[in-house]
Amino acid sequence: MFITTAFAQSATDTATGFGGSGFEMIILFVPLMVVWYFLLIRPQRAQAKKREETLKSIRRGDQVVTGGGLVGKVTKVVDDKEVEVEIAEGVRVRIVRSGISEVRVKGEPIKADAA
């Protein structure tokens, strides 16, 4: 008897649109968006801002790693968008700043050389 009554009650709730107005949905949706903002959006913006500052502060003598994995030393800052990097002795290439994945400051050794 109880099972039949519970089944009938759930069928009635389903037919009436899950029991209420859209206000309950908004009450649940707003905290979810706040959590989403603080856990995903805000940290991602901070990380992007830090990367932008790092790329802007590249100067001559810095060691950089390109997106393709080449390690080189900045020999010349061409303009706001490009730098010249020496990837081997006498081999210099121009790289777009956005193609640089990591900036290693002068005194920081490469991990393979430190071992």
CATH number of the domain within which 70 lies: 2.30.30
One domain for residues 12 and 29: yes
Same-domain pairing of 77 and 95: yes
Name the residue with higher pLDDT: 96 or 110.
Answer: 96
Cα–Cα distance, 70 to 93 (Å, whole number): 11
Report the C-alpha gap between 96 and 26 in whole angstroms: 46
| pLDDT single digits (tens) 60-97 | 999 999 999 999 999 998 888 999 999 999 999 999 99
Q: Are residues 43 and 70 in the same domain?
A: no
Residues 29 and 64 in one domain: no
Number of domain units in the chain: 2
pLDDT of 43? 93
One domain for residues 34 and 65: no
Looking at the fold, whether 89 and 70 belong to one and the same domain comes out as yes
Residues 66 and 50 in one domain: no
What pTM value is reported for the model? Answer: 0.60
Mean pLDDT score across all residues of the chain: 81
The model's confidence at residue 115, banded by pLDDT at 50, 70 and 90, is very low
What is the residue whose two structure tokens read 């940290």? 43
Instruction: Return the bridge partners of 2, or none.
Output: none
Reduced to 3 DSSP states, what percent helix, strand and coil does the chain have, rounded to the nearest 5? 50, 25, 25
Are 8 and 36 contained in the same domain? Answer: yes
Domain that holds residue 21: 2-54
